[in-house]
Amino acid sequence: MNNFTFYAPTLFAFGDGEEKNTGALVRRFGGSKVLLVYGGGSVKKNGAYDAVTASLNQAGLPYVELSGIQANPRSGKVYEGIELCRKEGVDFLLALGGGSVIDTAKAIGMGVGYDGDFWDFFTGKAPITTSLPVGTVLTISAAGSEGSDSCVITQEAGNLKWGCPKSDAIRPKFSILNPRYTCSLPAYQTASGAVDMLAHICERYFTNTADVALTDRLCEALMRTVVDAAPRAIANPDDYAARADLMWTGMLAHNNSCGVGRDQDWASHQMEHELSAFYDCAHGAGLAVVMPAWMEYVLPHNPMRFAQFAQCVFGCEMDFACPERTAREGVERLRAFFRALGMPTTFAEIGADPKDIPAMVAHRAEKPNGFPFGGFVKIGPDEMEAILRLAAR
Rg (Cα) of the chain, in Å, rounded?
20
CA pair distance 71, 364, nearest whole angstrom: 20
Peptide bond into 344 cis (omega under 30): no
User: Which of 10, 22, 55, 148 is the binder for ligand NZQ (CB under 6 A)?
Assistant: 148
DSSP 323-388: HHHHHHHHHHHHHHHHHHTT---STGGGT--GGGHHHHHHHHHTSTT-SSB-SSS-B-HHHHHHHH
Q: Which residue among 103, 196, 245, 274 contacts Zn ion (CB under 5 A)?
A: 196
- For ligand NZQ, the binding residue among 108, 110, 137, 185 (CB under 6 A) is 185
Q: How far apart are CA 141 and CA 233, in angstroms?
A: 11
Sheet holding 92-97, edge to edge: 11-14, 174-177, 134-138, 92-97, 34-38, 63-66
CB of 154 to ligand NZQ, least distance (A): 8
Stretch that binds ligand NZQ, among 144-152, 226-234, 292-300, 383-391 (CB under 6 A): 144-152
What would the x/- binding string for ligand NZQ be over residues 65 to 104, using CB under 6 A? Answer: ------xxx-----------------------xxxxx-x-
Q: Does an H or E element contain 95, and which?
A: strand 92-97
Which one of ligand NZQ, Zn ion, none interacts with residue 135, CB within 5 to 8 A by kind?
none
Provide the 10 A C-beta neighbour count for residue 353: 12
Site for ligand NZQ in 30-59 (CB under 6 A): 39-43, 46
Tell whether residue 265 is a contact of Zn ion (CB under 5 A): no
Among 122, 181, 314, 347, binds ligand NZQ (CB under 6 A): 181
Q: Are strands 160-163 and 152-155 parallel, antiparallel or unpaired?
A: antiparallel
184 interacts with ligand NZQ by CB under 6 A: yes
Q: Considering the complex, what minimum distance in angstroms separates the CB of residue 324 from ligand NZQ?
A: 29
CB-nearer residue toward ligand NZQ: 178 or 308: 178
Q: At what angle do helices 187-205 and 303-314 cross, to 10 degrees?
A: 140
| List 35, 110, 134, 151, residue binding ligand NZQ (CB under 6 A) | 151
Q: Does 189 bind ligand NZQ (CB under 6 A)?
A: yes
Smallest distance from the beta carbon of 347 to ligand NZQ, in angstroms?
18
Full DSSP string of 265-288: --HHHHHHHHHHHHH---HHHHHH
The type of residue at 92 is F
Work out what residue 100 binds among Zn ion, ligand NZQ, none; the CB cut-off runs from 5 to 8 Å by kind. ligand NZQ
Q: How far is the CB of 190 from ligand NZQ (least distance, A)?
A: 9
Rounded Cα gap, residues 116 and 367, in angstroms: 20
Q: Which does 374 bind (CB under 5 to 8 A by kind): ligand NZQ, Zn ion, none?
A: none
Q: Does 110 bind ligand NZQ (CB under 6 A)?
A: no
Binding residues for Zn ion, rule: CB under 5 A, are 196
What residues line the site for ligand NZQ (CB under 6 A)?
39-43, 46, 71-73, 97-101, 103, 139-140, 142-145, 148, 150-152, 181-182, 184-185, 189, 193, 196, 254, 269, 283
